[in-house]
Structure 1
Amino acid sequence: MANEHRRWWGPGRHGYLKQIATLGRYKEAQALEIRTNAMFGRRRDRPLPEMPVPLKLVTFPVERFKALYSGDDPGHLP
């Protein structure tokens, strides 16, 4: 999750996405590398608040939302 952009990292390390259904999925080492590069690569004067989030922590609330509000699309939540 990129807090600076208030978006999820996109697939293939490209762009930022808002919809959960289209977010990028990375192995732990890849996510930590992206985070490290974002924090210390281009803007050494101030770290960016980037945070890898395990997929199960993202999918659980989505599935819970679907169970509670069937018919609504949690991928379009802000």
Structure 2
Amino acid sequence: MKDVGNRIFKAEKKNPADRADQATIASRAIIEQEAAARVKKTARLKQMRLEKEAEEAANPVAAPAKKGKAQKRK
């Protein structure tokens, strides 16, 4: 009975492998979130680029006239 009372107030020793597993799970979750955000951002930017290219193809802008060479002063 005395042993039971001591266990209640003493923290059990944790296995270092359990802490490592928790850290691994947490880091993988963070990495997966970042990867999902990166894929989402890439898809959004690609869509914007395609829309811009389609708009530019529909409305071609005239190229600015080339300037002549500047003459050197003597």
Scaled by the length of structure 1, the TM-score of the pair is 0.28
Please identify the structure whose Cα radius of gyration is greater: 2
Q: Which has the higher strand share?
A: 1
Q: Which has the higher contact order (CA 8 A, sep 6+)?
A: 1
Q: Select the structure that is richer in helix.
A: 2
TM-score for the superposition, normalised by structure 2: 0.29
